[in-house]
Structure 1
Amino acid sequence: MHSLRIFAALMLLSLTFAAPARAITLLRDPDIEHALRTLAAPVLRAAGLSPERVNILILDAPSLNAFVVDADNIFLHSGLIQRMETPAMLQSVIAHEAAHIANGHLMRRPIHLRDARNAAALGMILAGIAGAATGSAELGAGAAVGLQGAAIRSFFAHTRAEENAADESGMRFLHRAGIDLSGAVQVMDLFTGQESLALTRQDAYARTHPLSRDRMRRIRALAEAQGAQAAPDPQADYWFARAKGKLSAFQRDPKWTLTRAGESGFEDVKLMRQAVAFHRQADLGRALPAIDAAIARRPDDAYLHELRGQILMESRQIKAAVAAYARAANLAPRNALILGSYGRALLADGQVREAAKFLESARARDGRDFRVLRDLAQAEAQLGNQGMASVLTAERYAMAGRLKDARIHAERASGMLPQGSPGWRRAQDVLHAAQTAEKRSKR
């Protein structure tokens, strides 16, 4: 797939299951994540959760699935987003997963992550996600980071009691947020008949979220009890169209996108989708006018300026990309993904010290960005800070589940950096996780 800036942030572990092993990627894009956060915000508030704390992240998987692994992250498969037809459908999925957090279901699922911290902890969590993302309970290399098959099954498989409780809470959150509950019914209809299929043919959601006719009837009854449908929310319609439209523009064939670019009814979304499609066809002459026309309609939209920067960067128009990213960063100075892209462009332009400043700011705000760790390590090495370059490389390997490689670089960093310094302590975190995983693998 042509890089989204939705880029492949984390290459995870090889899996052992019926289908051929493949890497799983976490898709990152500031525009799509902002749209999902906007859609999730009223639901999360209704659940008593903070929209600023709970992240909505996307895994590059064509199946229909969504799940939580901790109190701070809700994961959606890209295939699920593509199959949703209304914002209420997507919000109902988020509400259900938020209910698992709010109801404390995760607290009853011990999994051996307590000994890992920071980047290494994320790598271990994502190794488990790889199992859930593919429906596989058995992880080949995953055992090397301390996640055994039984732990995966225990962690990701919800009981029917939990599902019923999450259904009721989720529907209550939707009602409290003024969101049409019929969206939840439509989602459940997608899974009708899943339990009668062979295990290998079921969607991952059916394997991790037990379904039943009784459960579906209960959701319909809860929706009917709401009475009149909630009034449409134009803001939700817009951000749903934008998230789904941009995701599909990068994942579907450009010709498909161009024939459907205007289906949402929002002119700037149409132009944005056309810009992506033309860019993927390496047609800068049409991509730039399209994104510029979208920006003319929303001149203070940081995410459109960010996309303009991506188009220019990937077309090797480095200085113009720097200017576009600078505008985006000025409009959204706290967005880690935008700051990371700006730093990457500055690095490509040879402004290494300035690049390091923005890349470090991005890393401090969001440690999940695989490319920021890579780029910041490169910048630190060019500035002569080999110890910090090794720390960042160790963290990047740890997030990819490559703890043996992570340990090598963490040991190298520990020998270069002053004992007790922040960088030295980060290296110790990686070493601790690697040593713990090694001990468990020998049990």
Structure 2
Amino acid sequence: MRWMQWVRLGLLWLCLAVIAATPARALTVLRDADIEYALRELAKPVFSAAGLSPSNVRILVVDDSSLNAFVADNAHILIHSGMILKLESAQALQAVLAHEAAHIANGHISRRVANMRNARTAAGLGLILAGIAATQNAEAGFGIAAGTQSSVLRNFLAHTRAEEAAADQSAVRYMARAGIDPQGAVDVMEIFRGQEALSVSRQDPYMLSHPMSRDRLRALKGFAAAYGSEAPGDPGAEYWFQRAKGKLSAFQRNPAWTLRRAKDSGSRDIRLMREAVAHHKRADLKKALAAMDGALRLRPNDPFLLDLKGQILLESRQAAAAVSTYRQATRFAGGNALILGGLGRALLAAGDARGALDALDRARARDGQDPRLMRDLAVAYAQTGQTGLASVATAERYALQGRLKDANLHAERAMALLPRGSSAWRRAEDVAITAKSAMRR
């Protein structure tokens, strides 16, 4: 019941978002189980220090080379890939996360939503994650998701200077409380030093939503000096920072760049993982698997390395081997939805629709707003003769992608095929009602 209510609300917000603005520049969100886990590990100490439950705030990576991070709502922080690749230490990335956590803990987002007078704008911006659509990019190996109009989003996300000052002080306090050197916060701000003198078109997006000034930088240095000390770095945090940054760069840079720099990865397993991605992008399966097997000898029970190996095998048309590897990954993954989704795709490719359906259903129960997953689920339902359920999954996928006419069409089709009043029929009805309501506006 709780899940159904969440989906209904998400679809309603999504449909309203579509009519609020036509995307002039869509956000794309990169979904990767390994990177998302690394970000959670880095965020745990600062979130706990902020009084936030780490399990209640999701961190997602936006595929954008510019420098930015922002809070979409009280449960989602988005950070640009360019920001992660620019930063040089775990403490710096933790400072960014601590600052965004401060905006949540200090109530800045809640007040902004409460003060919105335009409901359509609030719908289009306050729950951006309702519109995230995760499809698969074979070259990047990450899920991609569509977002909302960047100029309107920027206006919604912009913080006042007073909010920024409060968030700066809170972030430094959280870092000190967690035993993290607050100098990381100063290091981040130094990156943007002097940008206030540039025209808006030349500033990084972070500047537009987080107003900067010399006074703010001076105050931040004072906070860091007052709260902090040169705390020793946490090897665990640094490992996960290097792993997330290394994997992200391996997928986003060309293979030659990665192979030249892989030796600077900080640990041998990360180096081998990066080399595997580079060889995979060159379609050299033998070298890619050799590198992955080397990494797995160092970390044999690592579900994310197994997930990557499964992905490489699947994208190399080795479906049976991919299934075996994904099954290994799921044994250690603790029910991770992205890894379960990978297993489901591999089973579909191997011709086991019923096995795929089981894996994909379990993944959907954990992440019901992944359109790539919904597409695979529809295929599995169709291949097992469950056309009504296939239409429901297709309707929900189109709704999440903002294709309201298609969503309504498939929802109506599902309602005609399913027993009236059944749970699946009600899901289809939710889509149809919400899509029609949005299209009338």
Alignment TM-score > 0.5, same fold: yes
Pick one of 104, 115, 130 that aligns with 1:122: 130
Q: Which has the higher helix share?
A: 2
Q: Describe how 1:8-407 pairs up with structure 2 within 5 A.
A: 23-110=26-113, 112=119, 122-123=130-131, 129-132=147-150, 136-137=151-152, 152=153, 154-407=155-408
Offset at residue 377 of structure 1 (A): 0.7
Partners of 1:96 and 1:293 in 2: how far apart?
Answer: 38
Supply the AA of the counterpart residue of 1:229. E
Residue type of the partner of 1:130? T
Distance change (3 Å), C-alpha of 1:414 and 1:165: farther
What displacement does 1:403 show?
2.0
Post-superposition offset of 1:308: 0.7
Distance in 2 (CA, whole Å) between partners of 1:120 and 1:56 is 13
Whether the aligned pair in 1 keeps the contact of 2:46 and 2:97 (CA below 8 Å) is: yes
- Normalising by structure 2, we get a TM-score of 0.87
Contact 1:180 / 1:229 at 8 angstroms: preserved in 2? yes
CA shift at 1:121, angstroms?
Answer: 7.1
Task: Classify 1:267/1:40 alpha carbon distance in 2 versus 1 (closer, same or farther; 3 Å).
Answer: same
SS in 2 for 1:419: coil
Consecutive unaligned residues in structure 2, runs of 5 or more: 1-13, 135-144
Question: TM-score w.r.t. structure 1 length?
Answer: 0.86
Q: Does structure 2 retain, via aligned residues, the 8 Å contact 1:43–1:94?
A: yes
Match for residue 5 of structure 1?
Answer: none
CA distance in 2, matches of 1:270, 1:432: 51
RMSD between superposed Cα atoms in Å: 2.6
- How far, CA to CA, are the matches of 2:173 and 2:429 in structure 1? 44
Matching residue's letter, 2:31? R
Q: Which amino acid aligns with 2:148?
A: A
SS at match of 2:55: coil
Separation in 2 of the partners of 1:25 and 1:414?
A: 32
Aligned residue identity for 2:69: A
Moved over 6 A (4+): 12-17, 113-116, 124-128
CA contact (8 A) 2:182 2:228 kept: no
CA distance in 1, matches of 2:155, 2:282: 45
Structure 1 unaligned blocks of 5 or more: 1-9, 138-151
1:416 aligns with 2:417: yes
- Residue number in structure 1 paired with 2:8: none
Q: Deviations over 1:248-275 (max 9, x none)?
A: 0000010000011021320100010011
* Matched residues, number: 408
Using the alignment, how far apart are the partners of 1:16 and 1:403 within structure 2? Answer: 13
Change in Cα spacing, 1:131 to 1:196, as seen in structure 2 (3 Å) is: farther
Cα distance, 1:98 vs structure 2: 0.8
* Deviation string, structure 1 residues 44-74 (Cα, Å, up to 9, x no partner): 1111111112111011111111111212111
> What is the distance in 2 between the residues matched to 1:81 and 1:129?
20
Residue pair 2:33, 2:336 contacting (<8 A) in 1 also: yes
